[in-house]
Amino acid sequence: MANDKLEDFILNHKEEFEADTPPDSLWGRIEASITPEDDEPDDFERFVANNREAFDSETPPPEMEAAIMGQLAEADATPASPLRVTHRRRYLPILGMAASALVLIVAAFLIGSSRGYQNAEQDRVALELERINPEYLETEQYYQREIASQFTRVKQVNNDPQLVADLKEIDAATAEIRASLLEVPESQRAELVEEMIRIYRTKLDILLRVQRQIPPGSPKAASKKANENEL
């Protein structure tokens, strides 16, 4: 394959390239050698080359720059379709409703799972009470019914915050005993059940004592009497 004109020129003038300072005529000869004879600049290129200083020194009028920038902006702008925007706005409320429904479903699932676990735990404790002694289960159920009934009456005539706080502490102690009933050794479970029944009895005594402290002729006593008649 024959070498092009540039390679031939470099090979023929290798010594001049290796010199410290190239002669002034070297670049002219290089340009003349690598420029094809038929690659003549057109009229526009020749005009720009001949008037380069005028192009560099002159500033185009503002209206010309504004027109050019406006055309470029129109060419590059890609506005969204009105139909697509309408659909997007229409779907946003639907997506919000779907997200809210998903949150409700997850919350209901978690609550249901928690309640299901608690119910299963209650059933296990009830079976263990009956296994230790069937009377333990009957005694617990009796106190639970009586406490619920008496608490309803007391709540209608007495809303003392301190009383409510004390009853919550008793409930917490009872729940702790029931939770540990399945974890302690079997030899200690009967004693633990006896302690739980004593706590039930203490709570019931408190509720009955509160009702006895209500004066007979007070509005609270009348309300208590009406509730008893309804029951």
Task: Name the residue ranges covered by the structural domains of the chain.
Answer: 5-61, 86-230
Tokens of 187: 């030899």
Residue 16: HSE in the Cβ half-sphere, 13 Å Cα cutoff: 13
- For residue 81, the 8-state DSSP code is P
d(CA 10, CA 3): 11
| Greatest mean pLDDT among 34-43, 82-91, 155-164, 176-185 | 176-185
- What average pLDDT score do residues 106-127 get? 65
Are the C-beta atoms of residues 11 and 3 closer than 8 Å to each other? Answer: yes
Are the C-beta atoms of residues 227 and 170 closer than 8 Å to each other? Answer: no
Work out the percent of the chain whose per-residue pLDDT is above 70: 46
For the ranges 107-116, 189-198, 203-212, the lowest mean pLDDT is seen at 107-116
pLDDT band at 191 (very low <50, low <70, confident <90, very high): very high
pLDDT digits (tens, 9 = 90+) for 39-48: 555 666 677 6
Exposed/middle/buried for 206, CB within 10 Å: 0-12, 13-18, 19+?
middle
pLDDT band at 207 (very low <50, low <70, confident <90, very high): very high
For the ranges 17-21, 85-89, 93-97, 168-172, the lowest mean pLDDT is seen at 85-89
Three-state SS at 22: coil
- For residue 25, the 8-state DSSP code is H
Higher pLDDT, 139 or 216: 139
Closest CA to 96 of 86, 88, 106: 88
- Look at the alpha carbons of 56, 59, 65, 68 in this order and tell me if their dihedral is positive or negative: negative
- 200 pLDDT higher than 80: yes
Are the C-beta atoms of residues 142 and 153 closer than 8 Å to each other? Answer: no
What is the per-residue pLDDT for 196? Answer: 93
Place of tokens 């009377």: 135
| Greatest mean pLDDT among 35-44, 69-78, 203-212 | 203-212
Higher pLDDT, 92 or 211: 211
- 143 pLDDT higher than 90: yes
Indicate the residue type of 184: V
What is the per-residue pLDDT for 155? Answer: 87
Indicate the residue type of 82: P
CB atoms < 10 A from the CB of 83, how many? 8
What is the per-residue pLDDT for 147? Answer: 94
What is the per-residue pLDDT for 125? Answer: 83
d(CA 34, CA 205): 115
d(CA 133, CA 137): 7
d(CA 15, CA 31): 18
Burial 217-228 (b: 16+ CB within 10 A, else e): eeeeeeebeeee
d(CA 153, CA 158): 9
- 77 pLDDT higher than 80: no
For the ranges 83-92, 140-149, 179-188, the lowest mean pLDDT is seen at 83-92
